[in-house]
Amino acid sequence: MSQRSRASRVRQHVHCDSCYSRRCRARVEVSVCCALIPCRLHCGALFHLCKEEDHLLLCPNVRVPCLNAEYGCPRHLPRSSQAAHLQVCPASVVCCSMEWLRWPTDDTNPCSNVALQETVLQEMKGQGEPLDLATALVDQSDLYDRLKMKPLFPELIEADEEEIEDEKKEETAMGGGSVNVNRVGQVSGISKGKYDLCEMMFSMEKGGCAVAQANQDNPKPGEEVELVDEDKTGQAPWQEGVLERLGQDLTPQEYNMYVVHHGSMLLTFGKINACTPREDDFVYGSLEPIPVQTLHSFKIPDGYHYSSRRAHHYDTSRPPSEPRSVDTSDLVFKDEDCFSDEAASTLLGYAEMEVRGHKISESNAYDGLYVDVATQTHFFRAAPFKAKTTLAEVMVDRPLKLHLQLQSDRVNSRNTRANCVFTFLCGHTFHRGEFPSHFRNVHSDIQTSLSGWFEQRCPLSYLGCTYSQRRFQPSTHKATVSYDRQLRSFNLRPTLVASVGDDSQASRRGGEDSLSSLPYEVLCHMARFLDSLSLSQLALVSQLMRQVSSSLLQERGMVTLRWEKKTYSHGGAKWRAKPVWEFSHLFSSVDSWHMADIPPISAHLKVCPYYETSLHSEPVPLSGMSDTQEGSQERLSLVDHFILLILNINTAMGQS
């Protein structure tokens, strides 16, 4: 609150504190009442002179900054226009949260388009890139950037010097290293505070033990000391009868875990044997007979399952065997066949983790005794990897290959993020008024209809045919839909008819376009008819066009915050947000679509190289055309079969 405002509150009048009438006729007196005045901003309010500053806090005509001023909006407007300004505020932006799912290619599935996946990248240069292929390659690039190699292949990661130093520090902090006290009283390897804390805790424990022993040796008069033999009640591995007591107190799973953790000590103190003698081997035990009613009602005894795990160790009928190392030198293969594809192995491993919830060949423990251990060896050309290596860094020099399916699934009640593999997010930022058009045209009309409706492929694509055609065009624009892989967005490409005189005029002017010679005001007026995506691309043409596009930023653009890290000279760093003005990636709104004037897909089948007709020169008899009764080889014609069928139907109807 300003000094003037504080002074006015001190000099508040007694009458003015409770007067809210527009027709106040009180007489002006010092320290009692002041004059009644109207608002200087002409909002229509009447109030006492001492309440003028309080009125400015609520006056609808006072110019105030936008509600999104902290997010970059520079507008100052009347307070009454703040709500209406939010509809066109450049800082009122929405980030698209549309998600879709993709599965990796499955070579083992006979129904998958494996042949199309292998030949789809070899499209003809004369045709545009298919929409489903372009979106799949962009999603694959995003997926490569976020998949790291360390979670799946920790054994192939080379240790960095920083990680080794961190491990040494952790070992020293845990007490793994020796503790040496220097002259200044500091402990090398462990901080002085932690060392003193440990010494204090140890001394307290030692003092408590001494007090307990003294109380036990010298009991107070009137107290009965109950002596308990700990060797017969404790649970330590060296105590007598520990396994019998634990067998009664614990469950079988807890008992097995105790044996696993204390097995070496139990063997040392002679509580268990290293191996079970054959005469003590449990095979069936005392099992009650189970009546066999059906084949499925009989259950194999649990004791048989237990003994079958180790029965082969005592089976003398088996032929003797000895351990031998096996080598693959006798197999005929090339050295290149030993290496695995990094992309296929990584995608398969992450798919197993997402769907199954565990890694491939992960150890599985049934209880404390039996653990299924499985291993899988990978040989990669780029191994070993660094700790922060991503799949994109590994595949940077490899030939482009599609490892994701062309078809994408929507996130719905059937396909959720929990039961599917890889999820992708749109993530584009739009102005609040542009978002409905983006979601309707891009996600509802185009992206969800790529597979077979908006873009149609040859029916023989499963054999490897890469032909595709786009069936729909905007009704109000003469344009075709395309996909920009750099911008990662759909756009409309207008279909223009090139005139004959354009090339000759451009060559006379030395390559300068005729558009740049127009006045600046005319260019700004023409730029108002472009969509946001076209304005963003127009700014990349030349400096003049960049100035033309910049003149429409306040009206058509949007402002977002971009975080940057600033490092100071003293070594400190600080993150700060910087407002950035830009145009969104929204193309012109399309209200309706119509079928493109293109031949049907059946016209392509006449020239499709994968459409092979099978011609039969010899007649092929249909099923049931030969009369096999009494060994007759006589063949009936199709007309005779039809007549016999009609007679049989009439006879059956007459009998009924």
At 575-606, the pLDDT tens digits run: 888 999 999 999 999 999 998 888 888 899 88
Give me the pLDDT at residue 144, please: 92
Are the C-beta atoms of residues 102 and 405 closer than 8 Å to each other? yes
> What does the pLDDT look like over 336-380, one tens digit per residue?
667 778 888 888 888 887 777 677 777 766 555 566 666 677 778
Report, as an integer, the average pLDDT of 393-413.
84
- Measured from the Cβ of residue 631, the count of other Cβ atoms closer than 10 Å reads 6
pLDDT of 509 > 80? The answer is no
DSSP state of 157: B
Q: Which stretches of 444-556 are DSSP H helices?
A: 501-508, 520-527, 532-538, 543-550, 553-556
Which residue bears the tokens 């978002």?
Answer: 435
Among 637, 640, 634, CA closest to 622: 637
Mean residue pLDDT of the chain comes to 76
Amino acid residing at 90: P
Among 343, 534, 277, CA closest to 351: 343
Whole-number Å distance between alpha carbons of 499 and 479: 18
pLDDT of 449 > 70? The answer is yes
Higher pLDDT, 114 or 145: 145
pLDDT band at 636 (very low <50, low <70, confident <90, very high): low
Are the C-beta atoms of residues 46 and 36 closer than 8 Å to each other? yes
Bridge partners of 456, per DSSP, are: 469
Give me the pLDDT at residue 90, please: 92
- 346: CB partners within 8 A, 6+ apart: 147, 149, 152, 391
DSSP-derived pairing of the beta strands 472-474 and 593-595: antiparallel
Q: How far separated are the first and last CA of the chain, in Å rounded?
A: 105
Helices 242-249 and 252-261: crossing angle in degrees, nearest 10, is: 150
Sort residue 319 into left (φ over 0), alpha (ψ -120 to 50) or beta: beta
Are the C-beta atoms of residues 493 and 482 closer than 8 Å to each other? yes
Report, as an integer, the average pLDDT of 305-324.
53
Q: Six-digit token pair at 530?
A: 């472009």
DSSP assignments along 2-37, one per residue? -HHHHHHHHT--HHHHT---TT--PPPBTTTB--EE
Higher pLDDT, 128 or 143: 143
DSSP state of 81: G
Are the C-beta atoms of residues 115 and 390 closer than 8 Å to each other? no
DSSP state of 654: H
Report, as an integer, the average pLDDT of 92-96.
93
Above pLDDT 90, what percent of the chain? 18
Whole-number Å distance between alpha carbons of 225 and 228: 9
DSSP state of 219: P
Which of 1-15, 73-87, 92-106, 428-442 is least confident? 1-15
Whole-number Å distance between alpha carbons of 107 and 113: 9
Which residue bears the tokens 């076209």?
Answer: 534
> What does the pLDDT look like over 241-262, one tens digit per residue?
888 888 788 877 778 778 877 7
Q: Six-digit token pair at 381?
A: 């050309």
Above pLDDT 70, what percent of the chain? 70
- Measured from the Cβ of residue 474, the count of other Cβ atoms closer than 10 Å reads 21
The model scores a pTM over 0.85:
no
Bridge partners of 5, per DSSP, are: none
Among 367, 222, 395, CA closest to 309: 367
Give me the pLDDT at residue 463, please: 85
Give me the pLDDT at residue 309, please: 43
pLDDT band at 411 (very low <50, low <70, confident <90, very high): confident
- 648: CB partners within 8 A, 6+ apart: none
Q: What angle do CA 148, 106, 383 make, to 5 degrees?
A: 35
CB environment 369-388: b (16+ within 10 A), e (fewer): eeeeeeeeebebebbebeee
Whole-number Å distance between alpha carbons of 343 and 338: 15
Give me the pLDDT at residue 18, please: 84
Amino acid residing at 296: H
Sign, Cα dihedral of 546, 548, 550, 556 = negative
DSSP assignments along 438-462, one per residue? HIIIIIIIIGGGTBTTTEEE-TTGG
Report, as an integer, the average pLDDT of 479-494.
89
pLDDT band at 616 (very low <50, low <70, confident <90, very high): confident
pLDDT of 545 > 70? The answer is yes
Bridge partners of 582, per DSSP, are: 558
Amino acid residing at 141: S
Give me the pLDDT at residue 176, please: 44
Cis previous bond, 459, omega within 30: no
pLDDT of 625 > 80? The answer is no
Q: Six-digit token pair at 3?
A: 């000094």
Are the C-beta atoms of residues 415 and 432 closer than 8 Å to each other? no
Among 18, 58, 19, 16, CA closest to 41: 58
pLDDT band at 177 (very low <50, low <70, confident <90, very high): very low
Q: Six-digit token pair at 631?
A: 């060994």
